[in-house]
Structure 1
């Protein structure tokens, strides 16, 4: 953890400190916004450990910006049809992800723009399951302007395990997470609807194997690529997701198949 914050201090020292045009008027709320939507989801061949692959569920997804706070989160409510055919039946009822980031530009009162980096953040993340899962992440984030793609959100964070289904790494720092996300309109129509390429890339690394368990790994990867048609109030889409050692479990071990492609179908209503 000290290495993470040491890196943070070095990056801040290298960043420009001029009080530039972005915040000279002192109004840090002129870019505020918020959004909320409900997604009706179907997962197919999802590579969640212990055969949690196929389910019909609801996702409540939200985000926005309020001054220094940049926020994203969602709540998944599983097995909404109460079907015995669901892999989530009689299992976990929900999963909650919350990702608050706090603008270093706004907190310091300086424009810290550095090349393609538009803004720096203190990044945090919380992954919570209803049956003994609670992960906390802390580190550094940035919004990066990428040619053609536009804004790419990126975060590098240390992982703290508060609860992990009774595993021996509970209560310890164990590994790191590099995460990115994007939302790119690729086709626009005259009726103002559009098609996007949207997704994320999460890479966990540097984790210590628990008790040298041969079924655990030191790294895992999740890469989601969604293609969605959007209107003002609705969207519909499909996304393949590539998994590798999902949740730091070796594929083919006690956790079952944790590597390979999964698939997601979604229908969304936007509030």
Structure 2
């Protein structure tokens, strides 16, 4: 069964009663769906920024997700600087990454056990994983922990995950990460299109301080306002940073705290 992002958004916004995932009947595929889209993005003021040139850049994002049996999946692949503009932050060079990938599969414990594990506002419980793979910048890490879908007033169903953080290159565990994401349609047009508030928070804490100026914690929050039809979307996002990646603002001459702006145009498959 395939559901469009539009259909999922309308369902989330118009359901007056929230139901927990129930797999006690043994049918673990009854809630299956999938989606994929291409986003043309432009970033202004992305952090961290080293003050070594233009901090703006374009990129193509191939974003996907869905549900199949016990698996819940979200991910994307970013390809930077499509125009090969040497003045952009992501200008192609030996020390600059060209691609970045995030892959975040979760395994439903409700579906695996055949039991309803919901309680209070928690609708479903998962073993959650998150993988980040970069290019020449050395961003390669894995995260594992517990995840959940939680009903939040007005926002509706929100993903909430707590991970232990593992640095693949250094081969060591280093702190924790808490992540949450949401998608809330809040204004509907007569033609069925709608405007949504969507975003996420990724916050790391409990990390070792390798140098005196490391903060040991930090993260970012993305707040997006998007117009959606069944096939297209356009939107703007404001991203707020605080010592992102656990780097204290100013260390190594980097700006790691502040704001950036994102502009997006999307085609949905």
TM-score scaled by structure 2?
A: 0.88
Matched, 1:133 2:139: yes
Matched, 1:145 2:151: yes
Runs (5+) with no aligned partner, structure 2: 1-19
Q: Give me the whole-angstrom Cα distance separating, in 2, the residues matched to 1:21 and 1:134.
A: 33
Q: Give me the whole-angstrom Cα distance separating, in 1, the residues matched to 2:236 and 2:208.
A: 35
Kindly tell me: are residues 31 and 261 of structure 1, through their superposed partners in 2, closer, same or farther at Cα, counting changes over 3 Å?
same
List aligned pairs for 1:14-53, cutoff 5 A. 22-51=22-51, 53=55
| 2:167 equivalent in structure 1 | 161
Give the count of matched residue pairs. 244
List aligned pairs for 1:169-208, cutoff 5 A. 170-208=170-208
Kindly state the Cα deviation for residue 49 of structure 1 after the two structures are TM-superposed. 4.6
Pick one of 222, 225, 246 that aligns with 2:223: 225
Q: Cα deviations across residues 54-109 of structure 1 (Å, max 9, x unaligned)?
A: 11110000000000000000011001010011111022101100000000001111
Q: Give me the whole-angstrom Cα distance separating, in 2, the residues matched to 1:106 and 1:123.
A: 14
Kindly state the Cα deviation for residue 255 of structure 1 after the two structures are TM-superposed. 4.8
Q: Is the 8 A contact 2:134 2:140 kept in 1?
A: yes
Q: Is the 8 A contact 1:49 1:249 kept in 2?
A: no
Report SS of the residue matched to 2:168.
strand
Pick one of 54, 65, 77 that aligns with 2:79: 77
Runs (5+) with no aligned partner, structure 1: 1-19, 164-169
The more displaced of 45-54 and 117-126 is 45-54
Kindly tell me: are residues 255 and 109 of structure 1, through their superposed partners in 2, closer, same or farther at Cα, counting changes over 3 Å?
farther
Pick one of 118, 122, 137 that aligns with 1:117: 122
Q: Cα deviations across residues 219-257 of structure 1 (Å, max 9, x unaligned)?
A: 012000000000111000000000011122111121511
Kindly state the Cα deviation for residue 130 of structure 1 after the two structures are TM-superposed. 1.6
Kindly tell me: are residues 21 and 223 of structure 1, through their superposed partners in 2, closer, same or farther at Cα, counting changes over 3 Å?
closer
Kindly state the Cα deviation for residue 205 of structure 1 after the two structures are TM-superposed. 0.2
Pick one of 241, 266, 269 that aligns with 2:267: 269
Q: Is the 8 A contact 1:215 1:254 kept in 2?
A: no
Q: Cα deviations across residues 178-210 of structure 1 (Å, max 9, x unaligned)?
A: 100000001000000000000001110000011
| 2:66 equivalent in structure 1 | 64
Q: Cα deviations across residues 90-140 of structure 1 (Å, max 9, x unaligned)?
A: 221011000000000011111001110000000000011022321000000
Q: Is the 8 A contact 2:43 2:262 kept in 1?
A: yes
Runs of 4+ in 1 over 6 A off after TM superposition: none
TM-score scaled by structure 1?
A: 0.87
Q: Is the 8 A contact 1:241 1:262 kept in 2?
A: yes
